[in-house]
Amino acid sequence: MGNGPPGMGENQDDTKPGSQMHYAVIMAGGIGTRFWPMSTPRRPKQLLKLFRDKTMIELTLDRITPLIPLERQRIVTVAEQIPLFKEALPQLTDNNFIVEPFGRNTAPCIGLAALHLQEEDPEAVMVVLPADHLIQDEEGFRKCLQTGIDAVESKDAIVTLGIQPRRPETGYGYIQFEADEVQDGLHRVVTFAEKPNEATAKRFIESGEFLWNSGIYIWSARRILSEIEDFLPELYVALDNIQLCIGKEDERYQTFSAYNSIKPISIDYGVMERTQNAYVVRGVFDWSDVGNWGEVWRLSQKDEKKNATHGKVLAIDSSSSYIYTDRERPVAVVGLDHVVVVSTADGLLVCPLEDVQKVREAAEESFRLWGNNDEKKA
């Protein structure tokens, strides 16, 4: 493969044309166990209608399509989920999907997508986004993406979107940035910080030097593969093995075999925290990484007692709660505050709002003990 990313010969000209083709890469492989019992293997988080009566993946496609057309959007997911996406969104075709054998965190997911895009277009610019964010100001969001795309085209930078913090959030990572702009709207990254405790989060916000880490990135496929070669050589070797068989009969087997050799690692830890080429665009739009039921409650419309409800629900002497049912039988919550109650055909969840991070544990234990209704329906 030579001294360059997969698919790049040693003597190939590295100069970029004036205008590069842009692609959206949407990471959508997980099932969202933190949203059990609504989310299951056959109804992954990306296909839940949590807001605006649209699925999370549909909202993601809607907000990116004015900037990047559907034919240049790629959803990275596992094969089992593709029929579910196609059923929910009939406009999708096989060309809209890149298939992972199984999840290995974000660095392998992004590396695989870059590999496929570079095979299709050696100068591809990738806008990488999770499938499960909620963004209110979509025009402002696309303006930030365009700033990042401009930086990639002019500086061959690797760019992330940072969000202006609105509270001392302990559930997000943070990005420290230089105050001076490198070019319009673009700042150099100083460092990445892991999820802080509340005191540290308050200190970050008071300093004015930190943004929330959105997990949204812009770079060329060629550049990110080069960065993976520098900082994640084992992953790069695995991607090299996949690159050799793209479009061949044994592609699926070789991809599965390569993935078996890959250690799970995030793109932040693997590349972004190590590179000297990271820049950030500051976003001032409303943004949320919808990661658990507590965040759904925070973002949902509420009544005068701060309850967010759906379906046949009675909330008596209860406040500040999220109560959901899709069953014909009513759900009554009496004398409880700050709770999540979710009733579906796949289970019943009752949980204090402050313990929503433990829902994943409950889901995994439920699947281990009793399986899930998806298996019984199959």
CATH number, position 202:
3.90.550.10
Beta strands per DSSP E along 275-378? 278-283, 287-289, 308-310, 313-316, 322-325, 331-334, 339-344, 347-352
284 & 318 share domain = no
Q: Is there a domain that residue 185 lies in?
A: yes
> In terms of domains, do 265 and 354 share one?
no
> Does residue 369 share a domain with residue 261?
no
Query: Is residue 279 included in any domain, yes or no?
Result: yes
Q: What is the DSSP string of 267-281?
A: HIIIIITT-S-EEEE
Does residue 167 sit in the same domain as residue 32? yes
**Other CB atoms within 10 Å distance of the CB of residue 371:** 10
* Residue 218 amino acid letter: I
Beta-bridge mates of residue 23: 126
Burial of 250 (0-12, 13-18, 19+ CB in 10 A): exposed
In a domain, 14, yes or no: no
Residue 36 lies inside a defined structural domain of this protein: yes
- pLDDT tens-digit readout, 303-354: 999 999 999 999 999 999 999 999 999 999 999 999 999 999 999 999 999 9
Shared-domain flag, residues 285 and 329:
no
Q: Are residues 242 and 339 in the same domain?
A: no
At residue 375 the predicted structure's pLDDT band, cuts being 50, 70 and 90, is: low
Residue 252, in any domain of the structure: yes
- Domain membership of residue 69 (yes or no) is yes
Q: Are residues 249 and 311 in the same domain?
A: no
Are residues 253 and 350 both part of a single domain? no
Report how many domains make up the chain: 2
> Of 272, 289, 306, which marks where a domain is finished?
289
How does pLDDT run across 230-280, given as a tens digit for each residue? 999 999 999 999 999 999 999 999 999 999 999 999 999 999 999 999 999
Nearest to 216 by CA among 326, 127, 149, 119: 127
Contact in structure between 341 and 296 (CB atoms under 8 Å): no
Domain span holding position 95 = 22-289
Whether residue 72 is found in the same domain as residue 51: yes
**Boundary-marking domain end, from 235, 257, 289:** 289
